[in-house]
Structure formats: structure tokens, C-alpha cells
Chain A
Amino acid sequence: MGEIINLKGVAKHYKMGENIVKALDGIDIKINKGDFVAIMGPSGSGKSTGMNLVGSLDLPTKGAIYLDGKDISKMHESDLAQVRGKKIGFIFQSFNLIPNLTAKENIMLPMLFQNVDEDDRDRRAEELLKLVDLIDRKDHYPNQLSGGQQQRVAIARSLANDPEVILADEPTGNLDTKTGENVMKFLNKLNEEGKTIIMVTHDPDKAQRHSRIVYWLKDGKIEKVTKKVNGKWKVVKRY
């Protein structure tokens, strides 16, 4: 398995008035293709900043980020958008569907930005709707769908351009336990089919139950990295 994402000495500093806030202060994260990785940390640990950087939604103050072997840390936003659209699928805590588009149109949107032609977009969207078992809801608007259904549409949307990496930010945060469990099962299934999954969460239980590698973040730094070997968690690196 080759590496897909590699953060080397990445730091993100924000200026807050006179102070400089070090949201991330030099972290290294290496993710291989096919991994299921959790980035775990309490609020304020820098995990959201980390997710934004991994997802190329933001650029680091220091360090380099390699996505599929290419340094994206100095790319222009427009090129970044193309790379992001093709290689990364996002799943957000609050679903983030476009409210005035139907379920199907929401799924078609990422393909529009990749200039996929209409017929292919249509076909692929129907395929994905079947995959998440929402084909009978394809013309419904987000506000006509339950939270669980919306998150399934969001999952389908994240898969639209067949990305290598799925980045899930607290994907079950707004769902009840049972629905959340179903979503997680679905992510596990995608992982078994070969997708690299990166999940950001504050819940150590959830992190350990579904992923195989956990990066434990605290105060902008990685505290430790644990890995599941033969059903048991082992610390592979401690900082």
C-alpha cells in the first residue's frame, strides 16, 4: 500500500490581535491507501485545523503536505479545488447539502465541477443513490429528508468523483446512536472496498471502534499514535 497523504512538520498559526495562536505546531501524519484513520482530540486540540489541512481546504503556515505524492501546500486555491474535487470526498457533521438542490442534484454537483457530462452525471448519481438506498428519495430536497437520510446523500455525494480519500468530520455528531451506527457501518464497508477513510472525532470510543490507526491530538501537537494489531491497540509512537 502506497502513501496517499503525508504531512511533514505542518504548523498552522493564527494571529489573534497581538497574540499568535498555534493551532497546530509541527505535526507529522502519514496515511497509506486503504487505511481507516481517526484523528482524535478534544475541542481546541487542533483537530479541525488538521482536518482542513488534510482536506486541502486550508494551507499550512509551515511544513509540506503531500497528496498522492504532490506537494499541495503552496498550490493556488483554484488548482487546489480541482485536486480536492477529484481526490477527496467530504462528509460533514452538519451534512452541508445545498438546500435548494434535490438529493440527486446535490450528488451531481461535484461532477459538474469536474466537467463530467450530463448523461454520466445522471447515471452515476442514480447508481450512488441506489448504493445508499435512497433512490426513491432522489427528487426530495434536503429539508424533506431525515438527518440520517441527509447524511447518506452526503456520503453519496462524497463518492461522486470516486475519490481515493473520504474525509469525515464528526460524521455521526448530529445523528442518533442507531442512525450513527449505520453510517459508521457504511464507512467501514467503503473502507473494506478499498477507500481510504479519515475520520475526525472527539469521541475516543468511536475512534477506536471503527478505525485501525488513531492520531491522538492535544494542544496542537500529536501526543501519540496507536494502532490496532490483532484486535488490540498498541502505541506505535509517542511524542
Chain B
Amino acid sequence: MISDYILLALDNLKHRGIRSWLTMLGIFIGIAAVVSLISLGQGLQEAITGQFASLSTDKLTIQSASSGYGPPGAGAARKLNEHDVNLIKSVDGVNMVVPRLIRVGKVEYNKVAEFDYIASMPDDREQIDMIYAAINVKVDSGRLIDVGDRGKIVLGSNFLKNDNFGKPLKTGSSLKIQGKNYEVVGILKASSTMQVNMAILMNEKDMKDALGIGDETDIIVAQVENEKEINDVASRIEDKMRKDRKEKKGEEDFSVQTPVKALGTVNLILNIINLIVTGIAAISLVVGGIGIMNTMYTSVLERTKEIGIMKAIGARNSDVMKIFLIESGLLGLVGGVVGAVIGLLLAFGVSGAANAAFGSVILKVTLSWPLLLMSISFSLIIGIVSGISPAIQASKLKPVDALRK
């Protein structure tokens, strides 16, 4: 029986054609905004947080103040070295310290030369495991650099994708770095961290030899014993290094970064974006609901006579109510489905554009069925709720009065 009423309602909606679609506009916008935002939200968060090199809640990053992210420039600031590593190691609450190098080197393959980022991997079991855990990389082919792997390198995903050398690279290829040959033992899967995708990973001893680096380090990663005390440990490191370098507070030529701080800022921004889009979505859903209500009221007026006829041929108040509620529910439902599709297309479009612009899989779309089902049922509910009042009005019409129209 209910299916007959649904067919009846569909008939009516089709009959009104363009007006039905216009009615659903508000719902389209609202649901599309919600779906695209949430589908992108997780990817966006991953993309942003992924840019923070070793973003675990128990790790601190110490850098020379001038260097910032990426390779250190020709900053005047004093470079970090073995002495600093030992200094940090001696700070209370520090568990493990890993010095790392990130430099640019000349890379040759197939007689084509270019300059690429090279990042060192520690030659120590515990340390290398910690770094792998922190940067969270997986191989697409081959294997990762292991302890004692001399003369071997692992390439970031961009090397596979960008055919800069005019000849595809693969596991087993031989690459010349700073004039010396290295065997490619693995190629990484695309990571959400852009720097990793662009880099060549190699043993730190190899790297020091190849680039002629002495007692220097670019980044020091310090793992704390208790992540709850990470801020205390950070200030202890700052104190100790300041004292060691005889620097005043505020004039340091180094920086100690707590990832939590950075993450907090990112989350704040994301939350503000979320709030704004949710606000827009909420407003358009309310407007959409009012639009449905308005259309249904108009429909009651237009179809007063029809309601009278239906009552004359035996429609109860509840039947008339059913017809109108199903119609407004369908407006909400179809609006929700179309809105969800638009939202997904939008999400894939934005992510595709971002990925194309950055040349790596930076913004992933998370397709969540519960989200889709929830937003579609929510719009169905909006439709039904908006239809209640017009439906009651329709069902209460007296047959004589309605027929006279």
C-alpha cells in the first residue's frame, strides 16, 4: 500500500518538474557542504599534520634556528653537532636522541643530473626503528634501508612518478650521487609527507662520506621517556643549550619544537574551518527545510480541489496526510542523495586538484558510508518535518470547501 502512495507522490513531484528541483536546492547545498567537508576533513588533517616531520606526541625536534624545514640554508646560526647531541642526551627525561642530516645532493642517472634532497638514516637498530615509526613509510617495491646498509639507497615516490631522467627507475637501478654509485634497494609508496616523497634515504655514514660532512647535524630528534612531561623536557633542553651556548632567553640560535604545540595550532585552524562550513551547512539546511515547507504549502493551495476530490472518493484525513508527508519526505530524500553525490564529487575534485598541484597524494578523500547514510536520512527527516504542518493543513480541509475551489 505504502508503495502506491510513494508512486502517487513521485507522480506529483514529477508533475511539478523544475519547481521540485528548485525546492531541493537548499538541501543540495547543505548536504553537499557537509559531505564534502567531512570526506575531505580527515584527509586535510592528515595532509597538514603529515607535513610535521616526526609528529609523534613523544618526540621533540631541535633545529638550528635558521634552518627551518628542509635543508639548512647558509644561515649564520651555529650548526648543531655531536656536542649538542650528547648535551641533549644528558637532559633529564630524554630517552633517545637521533641526529639526522637533510641536504641537497647532485644525483645522476641515465646521463641526466639533477639536485635532490637526501636524508640520512641512522646506523643503529633502535634509532632506525624509531625514525621509521615516526615518518611512517612503506615500500612500494623492494625494501627499506636497514642498519649497515652501505652503498644502498631508497627513493621517495616522486622518483617513480616524475620521469626526470628519461628512463624509469626501479629496484636494482644504480644511481650516481655526488659522483659515486649507489644501488636502489627500494622505492617508497607515496606518503602524506611531501618531503619524504621527494627525498633519497641513505645510511648516515654513506651520506657523510658522499657530501663530505664532518661533525654536523641538521635536525636532532629527541624521544622523551614520558610524553606527558614533553613540555618540561623541552624547556630543560632549551635551558641547557642556552647555558651551553651562553645565550639569553629569546636570542637563541636554535629551536626546540614540540609537535603538540604545532598540532594544536593546526587543529584549531581545522576546527574553525569546520565550524564555518558546518554553520553554512546548517543555514542552508534550515533554508532548504523552509523551502520544502513553502512548496508544500503552495501545493496544498494549488491542489485544494484535488484534495476535495480525493476526500469525496474516500480518502481519510490520514491518507491525505500520508500523501503530503511522503511528498515532502521525498523532496528531502532526493535532495539528500543528490547533495551527497555533489558533495563527493566536490571532495574528489578538490583532492584531485590538490594532488595534481603538489604532485603527490597529499589530500585523500575518505568515503564513509555511515556519513552518507546519516546525511541522507537527516535530509529525509528535514523533508518530513517541514511537511508536517502543510500536511496537517491539507488533511483538515473539509471536502465541501475543498471541492468548491
Contacts and interface: CB of A to CB of B under 8 A. Distances in A.
A77 B315 CA distance: 10
Contacts of A55: 312
B315 A98 contact: no
Interface in B7-36: 8, 11-12, 15
B314 A78 contact: no
A65 B12 CA distance: 36
Interface stretch (A84-92, A123-131, A213-221, A225-233): A84-92
Interface residues of B, number: 24
A86 B314 CA distance: 7
Interface string A82-124: 1011100010100011111100000001101111001000000
A202 interface: no
A78 B316 contact: yes
A75 interface: no
Given A58-B399, A100-B15, A81 B309 contact: no
Contacts of B311: 57, 77, 81
Given A58-B399, A58-B400, A96-B305, A85 B318 contact: no
Contacts of B317: 77-78, 81
Interface in B337-370: none
B4 A57 contact: no
B275 to A, nearest CB: 44
Interface residues of A, number: 29
A101 B309 CA distance: 13
Contact of A90 (B5, B11, B312, B400): B312
Contacts of A85: 313-315
Per DSSP, are chain B's interface residues mostly helix, strand or loop, or mixed? helix
Contacts of A114: 314
A58 B398 contact: yes
Contact of A113 (B313, B398, B400): B313
B14 to A, nearest CB: 8
B309 A84 contact: no
Contacts of B239: none
17 contacts: A52-B400, A55-B312, A57-B399, A77-B311, A77-B398, A78-B316, A81-B315, A82-B314, A85-B313, A85-B314, A96-B403, A97-B309, A100-B12, A100-B15, A109-B313, A113-B319, A157-B313
Interface of A: 52, 55, 57-58, 77-78, 81-82, 84-86, 90, 92, 96-101, 109-110, 112-115, 118, 157, 160-161
